[in-house]
Amino acid sequence: MVRKLQVAVSGLGRMGARHALHFLDRTPRAELVAACDPDPKALAWAKQRLEPFGVKIYNDFDEMLKHEGLEAVVVAGITTEHAPQSIRAIAADKHVLCEKPLSTSLEICEGVLKAARQKPQLTVMCGFSRRFDASYRDAANRVEAGDIGRVSIIRSQTCDKHRNDDYFVQYAKFSGGIFVDANIHDIDLALWYFGQDSVVKSVTALGINARLADLKKYGDVDNGIGVVEFWGGKIAYFYSSRMMAAGQTDTTEIIGTHGKLVVNGNPQNNLVEMHEANGIRRDVPQTYYDRFEQAFVTESNEFTECILDGKKPPFQLSGAISALKIGDALQKSLRTGKKIDFNEIGEEIVEEKARL
Amino acid sequence: MVRKLQVAVSGLGRMGARHALHFLDRTPRAELVAACDPDPKALAWAKQRLEPFGVKIYNDFDEMLKHEGLEAVVVAGITTEHAPQSIRAIAADKHVLCEKPLSTSLEICEGVLKAARQKPQLTVMCGFSRRFDASYRDAANRVEAGDIGRVSIIRSQTCDKHRNDDYFVQYAKFSGGIFVDANIHDIDLALWYFGQDSVVKSVTALGINARLADLKKYGDVDNGIGVVEFWGGKIAYFYSSRMMAAGQTDTTEIIGTHGKLVVNGNPQNNLVEMHEANGIRRDVPQTYYDRFEQAFVTESNEFTECILDGKKPPFQLSGAISALKIGDALQKSLRTGKKIDFNEIGEEIVEEKARL
Amino acid sequence: MVRKLQVAVSGLGRMGARHALHFLDRTPRAELVAACDPDPKALAWAKQRLEPFGVKIYNDFDEMLKHEGLEAVVVAGITTEHAPQSIRAIAADKHVLCEKPLSTSLEICEGVLKAARQKPQLTVMCGFSRRFDASYRDAANRVEAGDIGRVSIIRSQTCDKHRNDDYFVQYAKFSGGIFVDANIHDIDLALWYFGQDSVVKSVTALGINARLADLKKYGDVDNGIGVVEFWGGKIAYFYSSRMMAAGQTDTTEIIGTHGKLVVNGNPQNNLVEMHEANGIRRDVPQTYYDRFEQAFVTESNEFTECILDGKKPPFQLSGAISALKIGDALQKSLRTGKKIDFNEIGEEIVEEKARL
Amino acid sequence: MVRKLQVAVSGLGRMGARHALHFLDRTPRAELVAACDPDPKALAWAKQRLEPFGVKIYNDFDEMLKHEGLEAVVVAGITTEHAPQSIRAIAADKHVLCEKPLSTSLEICEGVLKAARQKPQLTVMCGFSRRFDASYRDAANRVEAGDIGRVSIIRSQTCDKHRNDDYFVQYAKFSGGIFVDANIHDIDLALWYFGQDSVVKSVTALGINARLADLKKYGDVDNGIGVVEFWGGKIAYFYSSRMMAAGQTDTTEIIGTHGKLVVNGNPQNNLVEMHEANGIRRDVPQTYYDRFEQAFVTESNEFTECILDGKKPPFQLSGAISALKIGDALQKSLRTGKKIDFNEIGEEIVEEKARL
């Protein structure tokens, strides 16, 4: 019989529960053997939905780490636990798939990276779902094939549907800000298509509070514009929003010297169009999961494959940190109202007057 | 000074008034010198809108024909006058642009054709607006360039927006039926793209009354499907409707052995899309004039150019008769519920039992 | 531990192998326990790809039927075996998911139906993949919700990409003809959206051999047009083709008295658009499996769910026979060149002269 | 007889010749009575194309100004003459339609404005073609109707097709830079949709030379990104490019608190789609004139109408100066690499260290 990867999931909130089910039901080469969450409600769900399939349920992460035969852990609980749990899992010689962000703190992220580097035999991945999306990959293949010449400009946006509740406000307490939370995906795409080793030359960020004034309490905005210039003549510009009327509208343009690729220029929920008295209409995905569900499933499967077959992950953990560095700089630019410049090795240039 | 074509328009109803304005305002090489209509309301409009620009207004067609220097007449009044006025205009040595249909009677049409053939120096055109539409012409050029191989299948539809009044019912009294009135354009397109000399092998038509039961009084339907087979392995199939919710949705597919061209696969009123709480929406042209206004203007200009420069019209008057023959056969098939077959020279094959 | 459905797959050709993998990897509540095929090449594949996961490999269908604990069989081998194997599986008290068509013979199909009716406790389904497609289902929900009023006209097409080999010619030997093989899906959609109990009033079919002259040997065409009229004022019209340049382009329009739904009006392979020197371009799915892969997976899962949870299948086996009846009539119309009429209880009306 | 506006065109280069023909052929209420250009080639064209229609040809602007009965002048020659000729025309009591830009110098622009203000009875317009485009106007009407709530974010781009010659490099000598030449249209749109009295809070611009290194000689770039923040919580961000592969792709998004409008999200040359072996393709307009031809014609007609009927122009001349101020600030930001901040009355905030 073929061996299956023994996986556990930590954190059974909205996204964690989805990860658990992806490994339980849609990752043929993996076996979900354990899951944990300190929250009684999550545990009740797990008892009902996971336990009958032989999944052992824990309320303590460290107990779960000792589960016999456990090989890999998905870290998907609250953001502040991402890094600590990842580090402990690595210490316990487990492969790790950690939900983004590793942390909103660069220093803490680097702690995870350091831990991972000490165990090069382990697969340690940070979940950037778009890296597993068929359309973004198709675009990457075309870029690599030279179809559009040298990639020069990237436009990318992460735009959530407006919600009538205070979800985004509550969420802002921990999210790190719109550039670190939402545009982090676009930044990661820029690094993917420009090259992972691109060096930042400057960042500028601006934002407004068009509908969610309460976000200001946490220094956050509901619409953000960021521009990131890289050394060598490349510019990425980003938009993020929490107030889209129609739904999740994440669009990316990759503009090369000889052509352009557009990913999701025309958001659509499925292949149906409605002809109605007031025109022709189509539905749009309502959430990022509606848009990227299949990418998450691909992620589970490729994480498994990397471990079982000793393959290299499709992108490096260090990339998550590169992206966060840029996101952090954008947040700082938003906060200070200043453009921030960097030298050719990516060090922030501090203005003279400040140095005096 | 450059000479301008001296034109008159007969019939100042909805479409006739548009023709008059096209020649007055948007046909630089023509001069609208006269217009006529027996209806006092139309005359009042003409006095106010045309006369101040030097257009002489008549209430009698034959009087207008005698207008000094008149060279060309646009016949755009009621359908039953199309052929008689065209014939009289030709007799008076005027060039003629006649609104479609020449007549709903084949015999009468042939009368016009005969009159025109006796004066080969005259330009006599029947207005098939799609022949002047930039997109249909682009498709024709691609077909001619061989881009899609041998044209084999054509799908084409003429679909009007539903109206809350009884316009379509009133109109059905004189229209000749949905295949002769609406699909006549699609039939003409089929002859254009398949070749004007294509010989019909069979026709089949069906129809329903989905919303406009009163059309039955005139033997008409509000949704019609027609299939026309041509000798040599070509099939055109048509759809016409009077009940589209969104607007005018005239779509044509030209399917060749090596490619396909779609004209107006995605109807749209302009280049605006609206992102709203229930999805993404666009407007659709509400009428055929919204869709084909520019084609009508091109028609006026090319009619003028043909006469002034001695050019051949973009299509033959006889084509209008070929199209009507097919439309007529479809109407007969709809009426009888029978498929009608034709021999290789296009003569209807009468079934044996009937012949006995 | 939760019980999983014990499933076997018969026939490991192209589509059978896919079914086997869908049940092995993508149907969490089922367990693929056996598979069979008489062909050594297929067996070799199964030994390598399925056996290591505990799937028992057979070269004989009847042997496999005796596999201990087996509950359900997917019949996916050559078309001529669909009905006999289904009948034997039913006799052995197995649930059956049979690839389409049950048979190209109506009589044989009815044999399967009869067998199934004798064991009402068994789930016996025929695989119409579009019934499981998210977009077609979305359209069905909108129809049921009354969004477009009374469904009156359906246009639907099944159009395959041109192939440079003789696949379609070889395939025509057994396929039953283009209406029974390709448009059968569109007929099934018409029955779905018009209502399963719709009674045929007439059928007309025409076809040409535009690229594949050799199909004529088997009485088949490479482009077919069919029109099916139902009693009560409903018409469906179909197109099928084996020569599309771009790829699989299966489009359906559902036209109601108050609106229209279009499924797949703009075929696309993914969400990428390419801006190139000669315009803007997108890829199209190359095969029906590229278009409907997820629908097949949904089919596996729902078949499983029906059995485990005692649910009713999403559509009746008898529907497959209703569709085939219409397909058969279209083939007869194509063959004879005649429109075929039916009375209000769906019996063919034989013309007087024939009766004499 | 109805009076027609007596118009002259100065400058018969590419765009000037088009203006002349728009007034000659497509502006029914105007009469082109004169045209001038110092260039013999342009004069030869005018003799051949305009003179036969009664247009008097001049080689000197000031001579032409004295043309008897002349009421209005279109200033469309070289950019450096726009302002001087406009001022002289105003002095001679002529209405003026001046091609954009009035000047690339703010000071000179203000000279024109001052001249115009001294003759309030004259219509003095600066040609921003998008203000006359049906789609942009449709969007403006929807904004005004409150369809999208409060306009908060605008994204707009002006992207030209790549050219193999050195046109853009030659052009850069006089254009004033990409933000003043190309994005000036987008800036004008932002002022339109945000409100003409919006006060700039900051501007940031970046650019690269991806294909046209020679542009650097003139301080210009071939791809520019600009972000303009307005007081009151509004941000516009712009992109301009000289290297689009497919064609002219000018897209605008107007994002409100309750909806979004997209203008030209899917560039297309006409309504034809081509299904080919490598997918589905459509053509794109090749130049701004392909995209905006009808807008230019509308401009001619509305300019005429304003004068004849004493209507107010659709936008103020001062708006052209507001747009140029922002364009100028963007050019300065591009040049200095600095974000530029403005106080609440729109005055640039000079940094402390500079002030010391």
Cβ–Cβ below 8 Å for B260 and C245: yes
The pLDDT, as a whole number, for residue C127 is: 87
Helix or strand run (H / E) with residue B113 = helix B106-118
| Out of A17-21, B177-181, B255-259, D312-316, least confident range | D312-316
- Residue A347 placed within a domain: no
Q: Which pLDDT band holds residue C353 (cuts at 50, 70, 90)?
A: low
CA of B256 vs chain D CAs: smallest distance (Å): 10
Dump pLDDT digits (tens) for A159-218: 999 999 999 999 999 899 999 999 999 999 999 999 999 999 999 999 999 999 999 999
- Radius of gyration for the alpha carbons in chain A, expressed in angstroms and rounded: 21
* DSSP-derived 3-state class of residue D132: helix
Over chain C, what is the mean pLDDT?
96
- D318-341 confidence digits (pLDDT tens): 999 999 999 999 999 999 999 999
**Nearest CB neighbour to C206, from listed B227, B243, B260:** B227
D247, D249, D280 ranked by CB distance to C281: nearest: D280
- pLDDT tens-digit readout, C83-126: 999 999 999 999 999 999 899 899 999 999 999 999 999 999 99
Question: Do B23 and B154 sit in the same domain of this protein?
Answer: no
Q: How close D236 gets to chain B, by Cα (Å)? A: 18
Rg of chain B taking only CA atoms, in angstroms = 21
pLDDT of residue D352: 59
Q: Which of B150, B237, B244 sits opposite C210 (nearest CB)?
A: B150
Q: Is D153 on the interface with A (CB under 8 A)?
A: yes
D100 and D150 co-located in one domain: no
Under a CB-based contact definition with an 8 Å cutoff, are residues A116 and A90 in contact?
Answer: yes
Instruction: Answer yes or no: is pLDDT of D355 > 50.
Output: no
Burial C107-135 (b: 16+ CB within 10 A, else e): ebbbbbbebbeeeeebbbbbbbbbbbbeb
User: What is the rounded average pLDDT of the residues D22-41?
Assistant: 97
Regarding pTM above 0.90, the answer is yes
Q: Please report whether residue C289 resides in a domain.
A: yes
Q: Are residues A34 and A116 in the same domain?
A: yes
**Region C272-296: what's the mean pLDDT?**
98
Residue A164 belongs to a domain with what CATH number? 3.30.360.10
**Does A334 reside within a domain?**
yes
Strand pairing report for B259-263 and B252-256: antiparallel
Q: C280 near C117, Cβ under 8 Å?
A: no
What pLDDT score was predicted for residue A353? Answer: 53
CA atoms of D5 and C355, how far apart (whole Å): 81
Q: Which two tokens stand for residue D284?
A: 């794109």
Q: State residue D356's pLDDT score.
A: 46
Q: How far is C245 from chain B (nearest CA, A)?
A: 5
Residue A221 phi, psi dihedral angles, 5° rounding = -125, 165
pLDDT bracket for residue C23 (50, 70, 90):
very high
Quote the strand ranges of A11-108, DSSP E.
Answer: 30-36, 56-58, 72-75, 95-99
Average pLDDT over residues C165-179: 94
Query: What is the domain-level CATH number for residue B89?
Result: 3.40.50.720
Q: Shortest CA distance to C4 belongs to which of C69, C73, C49, C99?
A: C69
B241 in reach of chain C (CB within 8 A):
yes
Given a cut of 90, is residue D354 above it in pLDDT?
no
Q: CB–CB of A274 and C142 under 8 A?
A: yes
Domain boundary among B75, B95, B127: B127
| Distance of alpha carbon A130 from alpha carbon D78, whole angstroms | 49
CB D153 to CB A244 under 8 A? Answer: no
Q: Which residue on chain B is closest to D1 by alpha carbon? A: B52
Condensed to tens digits (0 to 9), the pLDDT of residues B98-121 reads 999 899 899 999 999 999 999 999
Dist. CA C201–CA C205, nearest whole Å: 14
Q: Specify the pLDDT at position C188.
A: 97
Boundary residue ending a domain (C127, C144, C162) = C127
- Span of A78-82, A351-355, C184-188, D77-81 with lowest mean pLDDT: A351-355
Which H helix or E strand runs over A9?
strand A5-10
pLDDT tier at B2, thresholds 50, 70, 90: confident
Residue A2: per-residue pLDDT: 84
Question: According to the model, what pLDDT value does residue C355 have?
Answer: 47
Helix residue ranges, H only, C158-287:
167-175, 178-181, 184-194
pLDDT on residue A113: 96
| Whole-number Å distance between alpha carbons of B105 and B83 | 10
Q: Is pLDDT of A321 > 50?
A: yes
For C231-252, the pLDDT digits (tens) are 999 999 999 999 999 999 999 9
Q: Do B279 and A284 touch (CB under 8 A)?
A: yes
C56 and C97 belong to one structural domain: yes
Determine which helix (DSSP H) or strand (DSSP E) holds C304, and give its type and residue range: helix C288-309
User: Among the three residues D96, D127, D158, which one is the final residue of a domain in this structure?
Assistant: D127
A280 inside domain:
yes
Name the DSSP class of B231: T
Question: How far apart are the C-alpha atoms of D208 and A231, rounded to whole Å?
Answer: 10
Does residue D228 lie in a domain region?
A: yes
For the stretch B226-243, pLDDT in tens is 999 999 999 999 999 999
Question: In terms of residue numbers, what domain contains B187?
Answer: 131-291+322-341
Question: Is the model's pLDDT at A352 over the cut of 70?
Answer: no
Pairing, β A151-161 against β A234-244: parallel
Residue B73 and residue B59 share a domain: yes
Q: Which residues contact A340 (CB under 8 A, 6 or more apart)?
A: A202, A203, A204, A329, A332, A333, A348
Same domain for D137 and D122?
no
Residue D230 has pLDDT above 60, yes or no: yes
Mutating which of A148, A227, A332, A352 best tests the D interface, going by the most D Cβ atoms within 10 A? A227
User: Is residue C274 located within the same domain as residue C175?
Assistant: yes
- Residues 6 or more apart whose CB falls under 8 angstroms from that of D91 comprise D115
Mean pLDDT for D223-251 is: 98
Contact call for B239 and C237, based on CB within 8 A:
yes
Whether residues D339 and A338 touch (CB distance < 8 A) is answered with yes
Residues D283 and D164 in one domain: yes
Residue B9 has pLDDT above 50, yes or no: yes
Position of tokens 């061209």? B261
B304 token code pair: 């003028």
Same domain, D208 and D282: yes
In one-letter notation, the amino acid at residue D77 is G
E strands present in chain C: 5-10, 30-36, 56-58, 72-75, 95-99, 124-127, 151-161, 200-208, 223-230, 234-244, 252-256, 259-263, 272-276, 279-282, 340-341
Res. C350 pLDDT band, cuts 50 70 90: confident
In the predicted structure, residue B352 carries a pLDDT above the cut 90? no
- Does C220 share its domain with C262? yes
pLDDT over 80 (residue C352):
no
- The reply to whether D22 falls in a domain is yes
Mean pLDDT score of chain B = 96
State what percent of residues in chain B have pLDDT above 70. 98
| Alpha helices (runs of H) in C8-158, residue ranges in sequence order | 14-25, 40-49, 61-65, 79-91, 106-118, 134-144
Residues D105 and D234 in one domain: no
Interface touch D225/A153, C-beta < 8 Å: yes
Tell me how far apart the alpha carbons of residues D92 and D94 are, in angstroms, rounded to a whole number: 6
**B250 and B140 within one domain:** yes
Nearest chain C residue (CA) to D266: C280
Label residue C2 by pLDDT band (50, 70, 90): confident
In A, minimum Cα distance to B248 occurs at A279
pLDDT of residue D118: 97
In a domain, D307, yes or no: no
Q: Based on the structure, what is the number of domains in chain A?
A: 2
Q: Closest Cα of chain D to C269: distance in Å? A: 9
For residue C312, tell me if it sits in a domain: no
| Mean pLDDT along residues C283-299 | 97
Determine the distance in angstroms separating the CA of D274 from the nearest CA of chain C, rounded to an integer: 9
Tell whether the model's pLDDT for residue B355 goes beyond 70.
Answer: no
